[in-house]
Amino acid sequence: MKLKDKVAIVTGGARGIGFAIASRFAKEGAKVAILDVDKAKAEEAVRKIKEEVKEADVIAIQADVSDVESVKKGVENVVNKFGKIDILVNNAAIYLGKPFHEEPLEYWEKQFRINVLGTVIPSQLVVPHMIKNGKGSIINISSKAAITGEPGHAAYSALKGAILSLTLAMAVDLAPYNIRVNAICPGPTETDLLYAATTEEERKRMAQRSPLRRLAKPEDIAAAALYFASDDSAYVTGQRLAVDGGMTIVAVERF
């Protein structure tokens, strides 16, 4: 019960990594708001968590992280329901990829709005509530692609890299308010998003590139998020943690 009496918002929490984080937080005693653009999926996620954790206090909120008014309404609903916000996980993101010279500006613009502004907007709206509480933890989900050069998704890699720089800037600006800001860089993770974007053979090759010889599971990322959300990391801010089985520390053949 490392998050007992804490209130957390998880953006993009209806599936994949976001769902695993929301579920783990609920198991650790947090009150959790799943904020997702897909209302039906978010409500389904809430039902799944409550089936597994009978005492879970979890709600679904429909919001588009790239739209200020939508997120503002969602944050207000969380505060009205739970009275405060202690933790924000900026997980919502999309993936669009082609070789650099073929990537249309549309890919850059759409991913910028959701992957970057979709981190900025919820953070700016949540921070005043954390300042009021006298503390808080913000966890930004970046990617291994922000650290290593990879073919086929320059825009995604660059914008996830922006999340790492943003994390550093936020950590410095918010430290006086006892608000910690850290980032997680998942490697290839067994989610619907990965399965939709890759073949089985490609996933096997990805697993072989990892020193641990497997892909990440969403629960692996959730465990890292728990560390940053809990008081175990009370003196940790401005850090990035690669949860990638060691992929970023070895040189591998990528082409």
Which of 42, 38, 34 is closest to 11 using CA atoms?
34
Long-range contact pairs involving 70-73 (C-beta distance under 8 Å, separation at least 24)? 71/35, 71/121, 71/122, 71/125, 72/125
CA–CA dist 163, 146 (Å, integer): 8
Residue 1: exposure state from Cβ atoms within 10 A (0-12, 13-18, ≥19): exposed
Instruction: Indicate the SS3 state at residue 193.
Output: helix
Instruction: Indicate the SS3 state at residue 214.
Output: coil
Count of other CB atoms within 10 angstroms of residue 123? 21
- Give one word for 78, left, alpha or beta, with left for phi > 0 and alpha for psi -120 to 50: alpha
Query: Given the structure tokens 């890699």, which residue do they identify?
Result: 157
Active site residue 195: no
**List 156, 195, 227, 235, catalytic entry:** 156
Which sequence positions are flagged as catalytic?
A: 156
